[in-house]
Structure 1
Amino acid sequence: MHRPTQIVCVFLLLFLTTTLSFSQSKKQLELEERRQELRNEIKQINELLFKDKSKKKSQTTLIEDLNYKVSVRKNLIMVTNQQANLLTREINDNQNKITELRDELEVLKENYAKMIVTSYKSKSEQSRVMFLLSSTNFKQAYKRIQYLNQYANYQKEQGVAIKTKTTELQETNKALLKQKADKQKLIEENRIAQRELETELAQQQQLMAAINKNLNNYTAQIREKQREADKIDREIEKIIREAIAASNKKAGKSTATSTSFALTPEAKALAKDFVSNKGKLLWPVEKGVVKVRYGKQPHPVVKTVTIQSNGVRIATEKNADVRAIFNGEVMRIITSKNGNPTVLIQHGNYITAYSNMAKIYVKKGDKVSTKEVIGQVFTNPSNGETILNFSIFKETKTVNPAEWIYRM
């Protein structure tokens, strides 16, 4: 193989090794970030759903909370396993790297030793001055000076290379020891998580056995709750349609066929800001876990029943403040005989809905700013549950809040 080809191969190998190492480290950071998120979520679940044991929860609520906790715990175990497996690969890579570095260091030391011996012999046979004086002409003497300088520089480079390679070997050894310690820590944490999961699964089975005895009653309760949720959603859609018609009438446009808001320049700018913050909007409560997510899905307890969630159900702490997720104007406060109030806030052609409120601090027409407290979440006195139902509408159509709220 020609020398240029060898150099290209060496550089290519170095590039691939560095790229692989970088991608593994990046993946490890991503997994660690996700693992910490899941650990924090379990902590919040314990604080918000399992802390107050004095309140008697219904069996469906208990199993719902436990199912949620089990699913998060399973995800935590899975992510931790992925981390441990990735660390195993990184440990193997570093062990191979250490072997290669030791071999390279050995070759460097051997070459350096030979160079020193050769240099010593040449000095004993003939001095530098005599070597130069024996030149036949000035040009040859000049070339010999260059050669001697190059040889001396090469010796220095070899010495630096040995020092660099030794340092690299030491750092790789340190990294290897840390990786082994990290892996052992992950394994221990996963053992604890696995034991906790087994306990939760046993509780889950007991509760499900009791629920299956009265499955028809629970199914009827779930469908009744779905009807109540659908009724609120229809009421919100009706209010939004009326607001769309009013905005078009005010702008001198047809109200019969209008499905979109006739926005003022100010409202257009607000809508644009709202959209530009997609994925970065703050949570409507300071602390919370999403018990029911957006969309059509099997009920978390009775899997044979399908539910349609046009928003998210967020479990939070007692007396939790509800915050406007973005600048806007209070469109309407909805009150109903059987349910708790809902606050609608308009952000251009987007509307956010905050349902199951206990206290409301705003009124129709109020301008609100991001993070402004608009009320408090209702806490059910019979079971201690504090649930905020939260939705986002674009015109009359719902959108998935998880795509808009930061890390929901």
Structure 2
Amino acid sequence: MKSKKIYIPILVFFLSVFSVFGQTRKQLEVQRKKLNKEIKQVNTLLFNEKKKEKNALDDLKDINKKIEVRAKLISTINAEASILSKEIAVNEAKLKKLNKKLAELKEDYADMIFKSYKSKSQQSRTMFLLSSQNFYQAYKRLEYMKQYTSFRKNQGEEIVESTNFVQKLNDSLFFQKNVKDTLILSEKQQKQQIEADKKSQEKLLTTIKKKESKYKKELQNKIKEEKRVVAKIDKKIREEIARANRIALAKAKAAAAKLNSKPSSKPKSVKKNEFILSPEAKALATKFELNKGKLPWPVSEGIVVRRFGKQPHPSFPGITINGTGLHIVTKQGREAKSIFNGKVLNVLVNSEGRRNVLIQHGNYISSYNNLEKIYVKKGDNIKTGQKIGQIFTDKVSKKTKIVFVLFKNTTRLNPSSWILKR
């Protein structure tokens, strides 16, 4: 029975260690699958379509995105393989101990069977009982034989149990080593791909260097145009807030007139360029805030190619680009969807005929820019997930891109903090 007492704690300890390692590795496995999916999206959305005209800056940006995701994947694979190596080492040590204990159990059992056989050859069970000096001694001898038989049976079962567990552990180790081999092969393939991407990156950098002044001028013009568009949208939002507030104040004044009371010209709590909210609008804004980090994406599938906030340009040191929201590339023909219940505040149209739908959610506004077709109009009530328009596909770059911006009154927010993590 002593060997069984040693075996059980080893089994419990092994299972607890295996559980800790497994949980950590499971998280890395999920991350690896997510990055593999992202690489497929990058290849599909940024590289599958043949462009009519080549733009080295756009191509370089796409290559940089691919290299960035591959680098993250290689890092994740390395971390997963490292944990797997530790797990295999621990399991091999446990397997060695278990094999040793199994050998001891089998040796003890064989010794016991041999002694039992010798005992049986010297005198039979009947003679052993009949040679008792009294009834009490005979009873004790009978109980001893029962216990001995039970012990032999238990030890035999323990050997079977131990053998099965060792076999399962052997199978587990075999599977783990195969997983590790697969990870190492995958890492090797990703490194080969990243080397090929870097060669393309170097060629593009050489091309850009030769025509640096031309590309720099084009980029600066593009940045100026973006600022002009942003200023126009900001102005329109301020106008819409002022218009909405005038209507709210007029309604309040009319309601007060019916009650023969004097309304204040403007609520004290409301600042400039902030919505005056009705009780219903306040409740909607509160619900919107409670869903921070859980709001759906404005497209069913896509990758972010420019994030929110100021960031250095990858090719031209000293030039800063500003992401007013998220630039998301998706598949051709995809539609923009509302991230929350609300009301269409306005539909803006740029000089090239592309639309920007502004949806109000209390004192929050979600903006869906670069739409080719729209399915809504100003004043429409909108539900979460409702399709609001088809996203424009550039005929030159072949990219289908939406610019998604989020405001609280006139202040821009980082949409990544509000929508679901992918």
Scaled by the length of structure 2, the TM-score of the pair is 0.83
Q: Which residue of 2 aligns with 1:69?
A: 66
In 2, Cα distance between equivalents of 1:224 and 1:133: 113
Deviation digits for residues 183-227 of structure 1, max 9, x if unmatched?
222222222222221111011011111212333443343343334
Once the two structures are overlaid, the 10-residue window that deviates more, 370-379 or 122-131, is 122-131
Q: Give matches, 1:124-273, under 5 Å.
A: 124-125=122-123, 127=125, 130-131=128-129, 134=132, 138=136, 147-241=144-238, 246-247=244-245, 249=249, 253-254=267-268, 257=271, 261-273=275-287
Is it true that 1:284 corresponds to 2:298 in the alignment? yes
Pick the aligned partner of 1:387 from 401, 405, 414.
Answer: 401
Once the two structures are overlaid, the 10-residue window that deviates more, 342-351 or 210-219, is 210-219
Q: Is the 8 A contact 2:270 2:276 kept in 1?
A: no
Once the two structures are overlaid, the 10-residue window that deviates more, 361-370 or 17-26, is 17-26
Across the aligned residues of Structure 1 and Structure 2, the Cα RMSD in angstroms comes to 3.1
Q: Give matches, 1:307-346, under 5 Å.
A: 307-337=321-351, 340-346=354-360
Deviation digits for residues 341-364 of structure 1, max 9, x if unmatched?
211112233321111122221112
Aligned partner of residue 358 in structure 2, secondary structure:
strand
Q: Give matches, 1:4-15, under 5 Å.
A: 11=9
Change (3 A) 1:57 1:321: farther
Q: Which residue of 1 aligns with 2:417?
A: 403
In 1, Cα distance between equivalents of 2:85 and 2:169: 15
In 1, Cα distance between equivalents of 2:235 and 2:150: 84
Is it true that 1:22 corresponds to 2:22 in the alignment? no
In 2, Cα distance between equivalents of 1:396 and 1:8: 69
* Percent identity (aligned): 39
Q: Which residue of 2 aligns with 1:370?
A: 384
Q: CA deviation at 1:306?
A: 2.0
Would you say how many aligned residue pairs link Structure 1 and Structure 2? 402
Q: Which amino acid in structure 1 is aligned with residue 346 of structure 2?
A: R
Any stretches of 5+ residues in structure 2 without a counterpart?
A: 253-265
Q: CA deviation at 1:62?
A: 0.7
Q: Which amino acid in structure 1 is aligned with residue 125 of structure 2?
A: S
Larger gyration radius, structure 1 or structure 2: 2
Change (3 A) 1:347 1:136: farther
Q: CA deviation at 1:122?
A: 4.6
Pick the aligned partner of 1:97 from 94, 99, 113.
Answer: 94
Aligned partner of residue 379 in structure 1, secondary structure:
coil
Q: Is the 8 A contact 1:331 1:365 kept in 2?
A: yes
Q: Is the 8 A contact 2:60 2:201 kept in 1?
A: yes
Q: Which residue of 2 aligns with 1:354?
A: 368
Q: Which amino acid in structure 2 is aligned with residue 83 of structure 1?
A: E
Q: Give matches, 1:39-78, under 5 Å.
A: 39-78=36-75
Any stretches of 5+ residues in structure 1 without a counterpart?
A: none
Q: Is the 8 A contact 2:341 2:384 kept in 1?
A: yes
Q: Is the 8 A contact 1:244 1:258 kept in 2?
A: no
Change (3 A) 1:293 1:143: farther
Q: CA deviation at 1:229?
A: 3.3
Is it true that 1:305 corresponds to 2:305 in the alignment? no
In 1, Cα distance between equivalents of 2:162 and 2:138: 36
Scaled by the length of structure 1, the TM-score of the pair is 0.86
Is it true that 1:295 corresponds to 2:309 in the alignment? yes
In 2, Cα distance between equivalents of 1:370 and 1:25: 38
Q: Is the 8 A contact 1:323 1:375 kept in 2?
A: yes
Q: Is the 8 A contact 1:316 1:386 kept in 2?
A: yes
Change (3 A) 1:130 1:56: same
Once the two structures are overlaid, the 10-residue window that deviates more, 128-137 or 17-26, is 128-137
Q: CA deviation at 1:403?
A: 2.6
Q: Which amino acid in structure 2 is aligned with residue 352 of structure 1?
A: S
